[in-house]
Structures are given as structure tokens and as C-alpha cells.
Amino acid sequence: MAQLGNLYGVTESLPAAIPKVPYILRAPTKKSCNIICHAKKLEDSHQNTSRRSVISIASIALLSQLGTNNASLAEEENKLWLDYPYPLPGLRPAENKIYNEETGTRSFLKTGLYMANIGTKGSAYRLGKYAFDLMALGDLIGQDTLNYVRKYLRLKGTFMYYDFDKVISAAPVDDKQPLTDLANRLFNNFEKIQEAIKLKDLARTQSCYDDTTVILQEVMDRFA
């Protein structure tokens, strides 16, 4: 080893050669880094795919359960509609004699409607309310509005027809005939209005409607 002296008289020894850094301590080359990074990405990708698969399967199972539960809830909430699907395109016959004996039905009945089962009290309440609604129909009667009058009368009249049938069926024996007579007088006048509108006879339509308002008032008084 060569001996050197510095300005202060201190002697230092220099190593003969700089030792080599062991190979295992060297930083990885760019190629090695690329391989390691690529492997890491593949591993991460595999793990993410596995996680996504698990999440997807869990989501499908959850949505399936929710769909089943929602269907059950919807069916439960609409049970009144499912249990009472009349009238449909094929009208069921009335249980009481409130139909036209010549035709076996009523000309104003509208097909394709659903009626919720609201019970006898609900039907009685609706009879009074719809009678009140039809009391205001006179303001709509005009030469250019007869078609709207016909449609409105058919809609309300169809509900009243089946509500009367339900109420009469549940009524005490002594009340059945008076209710049947009241219903027939009302529905006979509904048919007269329908016929007048079909002929586009405004004066006749107004006259038939005026006669009907008296009966509508009776219905309102009965089911107030």
C-alpha cells in the first residue's frame, strides 16, 4: 500500500483497489424490471378478475332475490285487483235483475275495465259519489260535446251497475226490491240518454238527462 502524507502530517492508507459490489446487491436491470412488473400486473389482473367474478355472482344472486321479493310485494299490493278482475272483455252477468230484460245487458256498459274489490261499503260510497259526479254532467251537454258525454256516462254507469249489483246482493231482504227498482229506473234513463246521443238529438239528450238528475238525487240521498 502506498503511504501518502498530507499537509498536516497525517498519513493515510489508500486501498489497492475499489472492491466490487456483489452481484446480488446490484440494482435490477431494465429488462428484469419489465418482467417483474409484467408478472405483477398479471397477478393483480387475476386477483381483480376473481374479485369481479365474486362480486358479479353475488350481485346476480342479490338482484334475483330482490326481483322475487318485489314481485311478491307487487302481487300482494295488487291483490285486490287480481282477485276481482271484472268487468273484462267478457262481462259477467249481474246477480240481480238490474239488466234490460229484452237484451240481457245494458247498452251503456263499457268493457275492458278493472274494478277493485272495495267491499260493500266501498261500493255504496262510490254509488253516492258517482251520482254526484253525473249531476254535473249537464254543463257538458252541447252539440259538439255529445261524444264526451257518452264516454263519461258509460264509464261512470259501468261502475254504478256493478256497485248496485254488489250492494243489492248484500242488502237485507226488505231492501233488495227497493234498491233493484231504483237501479232499474236509473239505468233505463242511462240507456235513453245513450240512444239520444246516438241519434245526435241534442234536445232529447237534454230532456232525458234532466229526468235522470231526479233519480241521481235519490241515489245520493240513499247512499249519502
Q: Report the CATH number that the domain containing residue 165 is assigned in CATH.
A: 1.20.120.290
Q: Is residue 152 part of a domain?
A: yes
Residue-number span of the structural domain to which 51 is assigned = 26-77
Domains of the chain: total: 2
- Can you give the pLDDT at residue 37? 52
- Can you give the pLDDT at residue 40? 52
Q: Does residue 51 sit in the same domain as residue 142?
A: no
256497485: which residue's cell? 163
Q: Is residue 195 part of a domain?
A: yes
Q: Does residue 64 sit in the same domain as residue 136?
A: no
Q: Does residue 151 sit in the same domain as residue 209?
A: yes
> From the first residue on, what is the mean pLDDT of each consecutive set of 10 residues in the chain (224 residues)?
45 48 48 49 51 47 45 42 46 86 91 84 96 93 94 95 96 96 98 96 96 97 92
Q: Is residue 110 part of a domain?
A: no
CB atoms under 10 Å from CB of 24, counted, come to 5
Q: Does residue 130 sit in the same domain as residue 57?
A: no
Q: Does residue 126 sit in the same domain as residue 211?
A: yes
- Can you give the pLDDT at residue 114? 79
- Can you give the pLDDT at residue 31? 47
